[in-house]
Amino acid sequence: MATLIDLVRNDVCAFLESNDELLFNERDFQMHLATWLRNSTDSYDDVDVEYYVPWQELQKVGKYVWESELRLDIVVKKDGEYCPVELKYKTKKVERKISRFDEDLTADVVVMKNQGAQDLGMYDFWKDVRRVELVRNRFERVKGGLAVFVTNDGFYTKGSKESSNNYLFGMAGEAARSTKKHWANPESTCAKTHPNFEVEREYSIEWRTREIDKVEFYYCIVTI
The residues spanned by each domain of the chain are 4-223
For position 176, what pLDDT does the model report?
59
Other C-beta atoms closer than 10 Å to the C-beta of 32 total: 14
For position 68, what pLDDT does the model report?
75
Give this prediction's pTM: 0.92
DSSP letters spanning 18-64 = H--S---SHHHHHHHHHHHHHHS-S--SEEEEEEEE-HHHHTTSTT-
Residue 153 three-state SS: coil
Who's near 6: CB < 8 A, 6+ residues apart?
none
Other C-beta atoms closer than 10 Å to the C-beta of 153 total: 19
Blockwise average pLDDT, block size 10, the chain, 224 residues: 92 96 95 93 91 82 67 96 98 90 87 90 95 94 97 89 87 77 92 92 93 96 96
